[in-house]
Amino acid sequence: MGVKIGKRIKDVIARDRKVMLTLTRETYPFVPDHGDGDFVYDIEGNKFIDFSSFISVYNLGVNANVEIRDAVKKQAEKLMHGAFADYYGELPVAFAEKLLGMAPKGFNGRVFFSNSGTEAVEAAIKLSRLLTKRRYLMAFYGGFHGRTMGSLSLTASKLVQREHFGPFGPVVHAPYAYCYRCPLGLEYPSCGIACADFIRKYPLSKEVSKNELAAIFVEPIQGEGGYVVPPKEFMRELRSIADESGAVLVSDEVQAGYMRTGKFFAIENFGVEADMYTLAKSIAGGVPMGATLVRGSLGDMPAGSHSTTFGGNLLAASAANASIDYVKKNMKSLQSGIERKGAYVMKRLNKMKDSYEIIGDVRGIGLMIGVEFVKDRKTKEPATKARDEIADACFYEGLVVLPSGMSTIRIIPPLTVDDKNLEKGMDIFENVVSKADKTRGK
Ligand X SMILES: Cc1ncc(COP(=O)(O)O)c(C=O)c1O
Which stretches of the chain bind ligand X, using CB under 6 A?
116-118, 121, 144-146, 219, 223-224, 252, 254-255, 280
User: Which C-beta is closer to ligand X: that of 111 or that of 121?
Assistant: 121
User: Which C-beta is closer to ligand X: that of 252 or that of 275?
Assistant: 252
User: Which C-beta is closer to ligand X: that of 234 or that of 356?
Assistant: 234
**Cβ 255 to ligand X, closest distance in Å?**
3
**Cβ 10 to ligand X, closest distance in Å?**
28
User: Which C-beta is closer to ligand X: that of 195 or that of 266?
Assistant: 266
User: Which C-beta is closer to ligand X: that of 254 or that of 436?
Assistant: 254
Burial class (CB in 10 A: 0-12, 13-18, 19+), 161: middle
| Residue 203 vs residues 151, 153, 197, 286, 352: alpha-carbon distances, Å | 20, 16, 10, 39, 40
Question: What is d(CA 12, CA 366) in angstroms, rounded to the nearest whole number?
Answer: 36
Q: SS3 string of the chain? A: CCCCCCHHHHHHHHHHHHHCCCCCCCCCCCCEEEEECCEEEECCCCEEEECCHHHHCCCCCCCCCHHHHHHHHHHHHHCCCCCCCCCCCHHHHHHHHHHHHHCCCCCCCEEEEECCHHHHHHHHHHHHHHHHCCCEEEEECCCCCCCCHHHHHHCCCCHHHCCCCCCCCCEEEECCCCHHHCCCCCCCCCCCCHHHHHHHHCHHHHHCCHHHEEEEEECCCECCCCCECCCHHHHHHHHHHHHHHCCEEEEECCCCCCCCCCCCCHHHHHCCCCCEEEECHHHHCCCCCEEEEECHHHCCCCCCCCCCCCCCCHHHHHHHHHHHHHHHHCHHHHHHHHHHHHHHHHHHHHHHHHHCCCEEEEEEECCEEEEEEECCCCCCCECHHHHHHHHHHHHHCCEECEEECCCEEEECCCCCCCHHHHHHHHHHHHHHHHHHHHHCCC
**Cβ 157 to ligand X, closest distance in Å?**
9
**Cβ 155 to ligand X, closest distance in Å?**
8
**Cβ 271 to ligand X, closest distance in Å?**
20
Number of residue whose CB is nearest ligand X: 117
**Contacts for 93 with CB less than 8 Å, ≥ 6 apart:** none
User: Which C-beta is closer to ligand X: that of 82 or that of 146?
Assistant: 146
Residue type, 197: D
Contact of 403 with 373, CB cutoff 8 Å: no
User: Which C-beta is closer to ligand X: that of 122 or that of 389?
Assistant: 122
**Cβ 303 to ligand X, closest distance in Å?**
26
Q: Give me Rg for the CA atoms of the chain.
A: 21
User: Which C-beta is closer to ligand X: that of 46 or that of 114?
Assistant: 114
**Cβ 252 to ligand X, closest distance in Å?**
4
Question: What is d(CA 50, CA 240) in angstroms, rounded to the nearest whole number?
Answer: 39
User: Which C-beta is closer to ligand X: that of 117 or that of 366?
Assistant: 117
User: Which C-beta is closer to ligand X: that of 55 or that of 182?
Assistant: 55
**Cβ 253 to ligand X, closest distance in Å?**
7
**Cβ 223 to ligand X, closest distance in Å?**
4
Which of 225, 258, 223 is closest to 57 using CA atoms?
258
**Cβ 116 to ligand X, closest distance in Å?**
4
User: Which C-beta is closer to ligand X: that of 145 or that of 263?
Assistant: 145
**Cβ 143 to ligand X, closest distance in Å?**
8
**Cβ 70 to ligand X, closest distance in Å?**
25
User: Which C-beta is closer to ligand X: that of 120 or that of 374?
Assistant: 120
